[in-house]
Chains A and B, each alone.
Chain A
Amino acid sequence: MDILNWIYVKTQNLIRTTPNNSKTDLIVLGAEVPFTKRGDGYQTYAMPLSDAVTSVCVENNTLKTGIYDNYPWPITPVMLPTCTRVEDYPVFPTSLAVNLVGYKVQGTYDLQVNDTVVVEYIGTVENVNGNYLFGLPWKTVGSVGAFVNVPFPSPFVGAFANGATIEDDNGDAVPAELMTIAVDFYAPSAADLYLVIASNTAVDAMYATVSFENEFLDIEGETLKFTIY
């Protein structure tokens, strides 16, 4: 029966590039449900277009905020595409509108450093075709766990931001006055990312678990590569 509907859609020129109403327009899906008696095991169902798009982007959506998990993101940094889509009018090199899409580098760093200044290399983003990297960074979020007089796994957690609480080697809670992702464009098509943390109130060392997501934008269709050299 479904195939007859498809023929009708095609013959009546009902194929569109934009939805009539993404909240109410339905798309048809097939789920393999073993309890059915049909030969192929698939049952047809429908879902609003907006729900369908959202459902496949939940894990990979725009950056999460306010989620102060201990290890929300991987230990070793990775780059993933996000669902961010932006139209922009850059001044350079043209004034033509471009579609920008989002990527994010996420990772977790266990801060146990005998220093009050930390510069940790995260990884390198390169445009495979040698074209300009459009814009880095777009947004940085994350969480910070400091283990002040609290046994693991119950750390104090707060947001990745200037002033985030860390622990010094006296076991005191102190602020990291500076906590950011530094981006070094060493070439027009490539940039190194660094985790940068500094405190002028810590004694001699800093301890914390720092998780971060750094989202950036690039022109749609470009191929980016993330490498940890």
Chain B
Amino acid sequence: MERKTFGKTPKGWGPKTEVKAQARQMSAEVEPNRARIEAKIVEIKAGLEAKYKK
């Protein structure tokens, strides 16, 4: 059944600009942590592979 919008976007639908702004901010905060973690995983793995990997 076609939704009747009468030419206007119903309340609660459409792009949520505030949410997108929050998501961008969160992404910027999380990335340094992920970068640190990924680098540490590589570092620990390299050390272990030298000792354990055949």
The answer to whether A binds B is: yes
User: Which residues of A line the B interface, CB within 8 A?
Assistant: 116-117, 119, 121, 124, 177-178, 182, 184, 186, 192, 194, 196, 198-200, 229
* Min distance, Cβ B22 to any Cβ of chain A, angstroms: 17
B48 adjacent to chain A (CB < 8 Å): yes
User: Which residues of B line the A interface, CB within 8 A?
Assistant: 30, 33-34, 36-37, 40-41, 44-45, 48-49, 51-54
Q: How far is the CA of A186 from the CA of B35 in the complex (A)?
A: 12
Contact A178 B48, CB 8 Å, known A229-B30, A229-B33: yes
Residues of B within 8 A of A198 (CB): 48, 51-53
* Min distance, Cβ A181 to any Cβ of chain B, angstroms: 12
- 7 inter-chain pairs at a CB distance below 8 angstroms, sorted by A residue, are A117-B48, A178-B48, A184-B40, A192-B36, A194-B44, A196-B44, A198-B53
Cross-interface CB contact of B54 among A116, A184, A192, cutoff 8 Å: A116
Q: Are A200 and B45 in contact (CB under 8 A)?
A: no
Q: Are A194 and B52 in contact (CB under 8 A)?
A: no
Nearest A-chain residue to B35, judged by Cβ: A229
Known A117-B49, A196-B48, A229-B34; further 5 A-B contacts with Cβ < 8 A: A121-B41, A178-B52, A186-B40, A198-B48, A198-B52
